Amino acid sequence: MFKSRGGQAGPTRALLAVSFVVALILGSVPSISLAAQDAGEPQSGGRLIFALNGELTCFDPQISAGDSTNLVARSVLDSLIGQKADGTLVPWLAKSWEANEDVTQFTFELETGITFSDGTPFNADAVKFNLDRIANPETGSQYAISLLGPYESTTVVDEDTVQVNFSEGFSPFLQALSQPNLGMLSPTATAEGQPCGPVVGTGPYVFSEVNPSESVVLARNENYNSINPLAAHEGPGYVDEIEFRYIPDDAVRVGSLSSEQVNVAQVIPPKDVQGLTDAGFTLLSADRPGAPYQIFVNTESEQWSDVRVRQAFQKSLDITGIVETLYLGLYDRAWSPLSQPTVGFDASLIDSWPQDVDAANALLDEAGWEWNGDFREKDGQRLVARWQFISTGRDQRELIAQLVKEQASEVGIDVQIISVGIAEYLQAIQNGDYDLGEFSFVRSEPDILRNLFSSSNIPSPERIAQNYSHVNDPQVDAWLETAIGTLDQDVRNEAYAQVQQWAITNAVVVPVYVQTELTVVAPGTNGLTYDVQAFPLFYDVWLEQ
Amino acid sequence: MLAFLIRRLLAGIFVLIGATALSFFIIRVIPGDAVTTLLGGTPTTPEVEAKLREQFHLDQPIFVQYGLYMQDLIQGDLGTSMRSHEPVSTTIKDRLPSTMKLTGLAVALALAGGTTLGIFGSLLPRGPLERLLSLFQFGMVSMPSFWLGLILLTIFSFHYGWFPATGDRGWKSLVLPACTLAIPSGAVIAQLLRDGMNQVLKEQYITTARAKGLRELTVRQRHALRNALIPVITVAGVTVGSLLTGSVVIETVFARPGIGKLAVDSIVNKDLPVVQGIVLLAATVYLVTNLIADILYAAIDPRIR
């Protein structure tokens, strides 16, 4: 999974190799690759300019679900728990934790002597303030609230001990705590601030300048006294300031980087990578955990309720070829509703469903679909797949759709691409007005499968949810329940493996590609790394002066 | 003249009410629900959904929503953005100066460059040079602005590094986007003016003026230009309005904070209060610029007074 190009240092490579082996033993594959150029001792000072592809409309990750919001907030907020690149959970603001037998109660021992950048002490009261705030519907949390699941309450045991209570077992809570969305905000500053305004945390940087719709600047927190388990050093950060500049246009982002008007740019199109690395820039590539980009087949739609039709569609496609053609070997193809770097990914699915046009034709023959002209028909009805497709231009997905349409037509399936905006798309999904839908989501926790396949998450006009396949299967629900009610990683992995295999065997999804973050770094910028969800970490970054 | 202005203003108020009502209903009728769009991409809970619907009155019948909206609007309250939780008036106020600077400079450049080129073109004798100029102007009119922007960026920012590629800090960051915006409009004005001049110069009163022995320059400036300018002013008026909203592409390419980009982002994301605020603003701008154009006609052409 290592795809770093440019000056890799010997010792770092050894370190990577070690962590890779450790990760393999632990049963997950790290998605990370470090840009540790051999440039000597870190130096303090300077302004790092990072080109973001998206704009920040909300600075509070407890409210917003935006990728950019999380990316920026990560340098400002610390979490109770950290998640290493290999998926293991390590102490951060919480020194230690334990859970009761049925995973409904978690008790955390907190680090002492840590203060928020506004001077407010970090303690048990602050933890309770944050979790209660997220769980309160008045806050308007768009995503964080769902990470709390069946949250009931937080009890302050003493100054440095909190107990978090759930109405049902909820093991994904620990990983959830490591996300910026459940990062710790200063109770004082949050109570005084505007909703969605710049947040105050215990992290190594603080918000210093907001230029709406243009940029946001973080300044070093000189009084930083927290510890960061994901970092290589202690004490204050190296660079004085980090400027996040919003540059939505790909070509302009690439040009700004190549002319070194910015130090780092994210979401670099695969076609531009070669040119930049040839010019001495360093590529940082990381595969995102969670739900890879995948096509969902609506099992409640009339023609597609037949498993043979779904399997035929799945087998008609040469996903490997599509992904290699479009992404020049920089993205991996997906094999499961979980992407490869996700904890709990079932590696037995790799290579388990190659393209097989003969088998696809046989399945459709057996199901009674007969050729009539260019497509197949049954009872005078053509075999049609209405694909609700979001036209964002992102990752050249339009071309995926075209190639899928072409390949499916070879076995007689008429894929009709309905290209719409996001608002219209979501409405069609809620109305159930589709045969194929699409979705991807980043989270380093297999519980994301519950969002995709639990019968309680079927979208309807009254319910916003992501079980786009309309899977309603007691066995699947049971596996998901088992996994959520235990911290035993073997039991969880086994249950999640069952769900993944079920999803592929029943062809309710066709996973396409693993979302990959391609970030390119200009010469002279060192120490940039990714966290487990492929968001860059800035605390160790330093600039050659 | 005063009666003319009052008539225009009264009509303007009705246009404003009509524009806000139309945008209010259209954005609610077209497919896609605001709360679903905000929450649909991530796992969420039904409680949050219900809370948001209540907060933005989306649980009410559409006419009740309109009543509540107008009630707030009359008190000067444009509402709160669904995405940023910021008052819409603040959002617009933050973005407006950037767009105004850009549009202001672009209009000035387009008018200055367009008139100069137009007059120059009308002076040229028929021949290859005149045809070349015409072809050049035609090319500039038809060039998509994002493409033009990228070309200017590649040459003057990425290659020579004379100007910053993006953002809104200082006059330097204004040059490339303003030129990108001004070039097509300037070319339209140049073509219009040249055609207008050529037309007017065939008129009999020009012959009369020449026959009176007036100098060619006086004939052109006093008699021909004035008449040829009338369609130019009409177009310039419309251009100001369209530059304001048409700055979308420029603002995206040059990553500038501005109203155009805000409008598109808000429409795509169904941020209803912001969309309504921008429609109100755009309608006001169109009205004011048209009013100014009307006054200018009257000043230039006594027949209209």
The CATH number that applies at residue B207 is 1.10.3720.10
Cα–Cα distance measured from residue A107 to residue A165, given in angstroms and rounded to the nearest whole number:
9
Q: What is the pLDDT of residues A457-469, one digit of tens each?
A: 999 988 889 999 9
Give residue B107's pLDDT.
87
CA distance A463 to chain B (A): 7
| Contact (CB, 8 A) for A384 and A412 | no
Residue contact B31–A214, C-beta within 8 A = no
* B50 touching chain A per CB within 8 A: yes
Residue contact B48–A57, C-beta within 8 A = no
Task: Report how far Cα A397 is from the mean position of its chain's Cα atoms.
Answer: 18
Q: Is the pLDDT of residue A146 over 70?
A: yes
Q: What is the pLDDT of residues B166-224, one digit of tens each?
A: 888 888 899 999 999 888 888 888 888 888 888 887 888 888 888 888 787 777 777 78
Q: Is the pLDDT of residue A376 over 90?
A: yes
Residues 19-78 of A with CB under 8 A from B: 55, 57-58, 63, 65
| Chain B CB contacts of A146 below 8 Å | 42-45
CA distance A196 to chain B (A): 6
Q: Is the pLDDT of residue A324 over 80?
A: yes
Residue contact B83–A57, C-beta within 8 A = yes
| Residue at B305 is within a domain | no
Helix count and strand count (H, E) for chain B = 14, 0
* A461 touching chain B per CB within 8 A: no
B196 lies in the same domain as B235 = yes
A380 φψ region: left (φ > 0), alpha (ψ -120 to 50), beta (else): left
B25 lies in the same domain as B95 = no
Task: Tell me the two tokens of residue A381.
Answer: 């009805």
B63 lies in the same domain as B92 = no
Q: What is the pLDDT of residues B35-73, one digit of tens each?
A: 888 888 888 888 888 888 898 888 899 999 999 999 998
B283 lies in the same domain as B141 = yes
Q: Who has greater pLDDT, B286 or A414?
A: A414
Task: Report how far Cα B42 is from the mean position of its chain's Cα atoms.
Answer: 36
Residue contact B51–A138, C-beta within 8 A = yes
Closest B-chain CA to A250: B253
Instruction: Find the length of chain B.
Output: 305
| Chain A CB contacts of B165 below 8 Å | 247, 252, 255-256, 259, 261
Q: Is the pLDDT of residue B244 over 90?
A: no
Task: Tell me the two tokens of residue B73.
Answer: 């609007």
A351 φψ region: left (φ > 0), alpha (ψ -120 to 50), beta (else): left
Cα–Cα distance measured from residue B116 to residue B114, given in angstroms and rounded to the nearest whole number:
5
Q: Is the pLDDT of residue A526 over 70?
A: yes
Nearest to A143 among B43, B167, B270 (CB): B43
Nearest to B257 among A145, A211, A462 (CB): A211
Closest B-chain CA to A464: B40
| Residue at B122 is within a domain | yes
Cα–Cα distance measured from residue A79 to residue A202, given in angstroms and rounded to the nearest whole number:
9
Nearest to B165 among A248, A261, A466 (CB): A261
Residues 254-313 of A with CB under 8 A from B: 255-256, 258-259, 261
Of B74, B100, B121, the residue at which a domain comes to its end is B74
Q: Outline where A194-306 has alpha helix (H).
A: 250-258, 270-278
| Residue at B130 is within a domain | yes
| Chain A CB contacts of B34 below 8 Å | 423
- Please state the rounded mean pLDDT for residues A406-424: 94
State the DSSP code for A301.
S
Name the E strands within A427-478.
436-442
Cα–Cα distance measured from residue A110 to residue A114, given in angstroms and rounded to the nearest whole number:
10
Give residue A24's pLDDT.
37
Q: What is the ipTM of this complex?
A: 0.84
| Residue at B83 is within a domain | no
* A232 touching chain B per CB within 8 A: no
Closest B-chain CA to A254: B158
| Chain A CB contacts of B37 below 8 Å | 422-423, 426
- Please state the rounded mean pLDDT for residues A522-529: 94
Give residue A35's pLDDT.
45
Of B47, B74, B101, the residue at which a domain comes to its end is B74
Cα distance between the two ends of chain B = 7
- Please state the rounded mean pLDDT for residues A65-92: 94
Closest B-chain CA to A135: B48
Q: Would you say the pTM of this structure is higher than 0.80?
A: yes
Closest A-chain CA to B92: A212
| Contact (CB, 8 A) for A217 and A109 | no
Residue contact B43–A256, C-beta within 8 A = no
Nearest residue to B82 via CA among B280, B273, B276: B273
- Please state the rounded mean pLDDT for residues A67-84: 95
Give residue A15's pLDDT.
34
B65 lies in the same domain as B107 = no
Report the number of distinct structural domains present in chain B.
2
| Residue at B141 is within a domain | yes
Query: How many percent of chain A have pLDDT more than 90?
Result: 83
B145 lies in the same domain as B272 = yes
Give residue A4's pLDDT.
40
| Residue at B52 is within a domain | yes
Give residue B305's pLDDT.
54
| Residue at B296 is within a domain | yes
Q: What is the pLDDT of residues A168-181, one digit of tens each?
A: 999 999 999 999 99
* B44 touching chain A per CB within 8 A: yes
Nearest residue to A184 via CA among A127, A136, A134: A127
Core vs surface per residue A2-28: b (16+ CB within 10 A) or e = bbbbbebeeebeeebeebbeebeeeeb
Q: What is the pLDDT of residues A427-437, one digit of tens each?
A: 999 999 999 99
* A469 touching chain B per CB within 8 A: no
Of B45, B74, B103, the residue at which a domain comes to its end is B74
Q: Who has greater pLDDT, B207 or A523?
A: A523
Cβ neighbors of A474 (< 8 A, separation 6 or more) are: A455
Residues 267-296 of B with CB under 8 A from A: 268-270
CA distance B258 to chain A (A): 8
Q: Is the pLDDT of residue B164 over 50?
A: yes
Q: Which of A94-98, A231-235, B136-140 has the lowest mean pLDDT?
A: B136-140
Nearest residue to A111 via CA among A99, A89, A127, A100: A127
| Chain A CB contacts of B158 below 8 Å | 255-256, 258-259
| Residue at B269 is within a domain | yes
B125 lies in the same domain as B22 = no
Which is it for the CA torsion A442, A446, A447, A452, positive or negative?
positive
Q: Who has greater pLDDT, B296 or A419?
A: A419
| Chain B CB contacts of A430 below 8 Å | 33, 36, 40
Cα–Cα distance measured from residue A241 to residue A238, given in angstroms and rounded to the nearest whole number:
9
Task: Tell me the pLDDT band of A38, cut-offs 50, 70 and 90.
Answer: low
- Please state the rounded mean pLDDT for residues A394-417: 94
Name the E strands within A194-277.
205-211, 215-220, 241-246, 264-265
HEC letters along A362-388: HHHHHCCCEEECCEEEECCEECEEEEE
Give residue B103's pLDDT.
86
B94 lies in the same domain as B209 = yes
B97 lies in the same domain as B205 = yes
CA distance A365 to chain B (A): 37
Q: Who has greater pLDDT, A198 or A40?
A: A198
| Contact (CB, 8 A) for A56 and A66 | yes
Cα–Cα distance measured from residue B110 to residue B101, given in angstroms and rounded to the nearest whole number:
14
B8 lies in the same domain as B142 = no
Nearest to B167 among A58, A245, A258 (CB): A245
Give residue B31's pLDDT.
80
| Chain A CB contacts of B153 below 8 Å | 252, 255
Give residue A21's pLDDT.
35
Q: Is the pLDDT of residue A501 over 90?
A: yes
B95 lies in the same domain as B68 = no
Best interface-test mutation with A: which of B29, B45, B58 has the largest number of A CBs within 10 A? B45
B13 lies in the same domain as B157 = no
Q: Which of A104-118, A479-493, B136-150, B174-188 has the lowest mean pLDDT?
A: B136-150
Q: Is the pLDDT of residue A264 over 90?
A: yes
| Contact (CB, 8 A) for A63 and A140 | yes
CA distance B109 to chain A (A): 24
Give residue A472's pLDDT.
96
Give residue A17's pLDDT.
37
Enclosing domain of residue B285: 88-300
* A216 touching chain B per CB within 8 A: no
